[in-house]
Amino acid sequence: MRSRFVEAQIIGIWKEQESGQKTANVRRKIRILAPSFHRKNKTLQISEVRRLKNLEDENVKLKKMLAEATLARRS
């Protein structure tokens, strides 16, 4: 299942909660149930999310390079 939140939103949500806001208020604001919130919150830490995003970006670049090289080889 895809998340309806982008990386920046997730990080913002975590920062709101870490700044001392009550979890219930944060959940109500973004309209998410408690089990989902805690599962998402515990799954990845902020640094891991950034690292994952960087790896995904690098993967896209490498796939593009491979496709270009394959096309150039066939021409």
Q: Are residues 9 and 21 in the same domain?
A: yes
What is residue 73's predicted lDDT score, i.e. its pLDDT?
A: 92
What is residue 4's predicted lDDT score, i.e. its pLDDT?
A: 65
Q: Are residues 37 and 67 in the same domain?
A: no
Buried b (16+ CB within 10 A) or exposed e, 27-56: beeeebeeeebeeebeeeeeeebeeeeeee
**Which of 37, 39, 55 lies closest to 47, judged by CA?**
55
Q: Are residues 7 and 39 in the same domain?
A: yes
Q: Are residues 36 and 72 in the same domain?
A: no
Mean pLDDT of 1-16: 67
Q: Are residues 58 and 34 in the same domain?
A: no
- Which one has a higher pLDDT value, 71 or 13? 71
Q: Are residues 23 and 1 in the same domain?
A: yes
What is residue 40's predicted lDDT score, i.e. its pLDDT?
A: 58
pTM for the full model? Answer: 0.44
Q: Domain containing 39: what range?
A: 1-43
Q: How many domains does the chain divide into?
A: 2
Mean pLDDT of 57-67: 95
Q: Are residues 39 and 56 in the same domain?
A: no
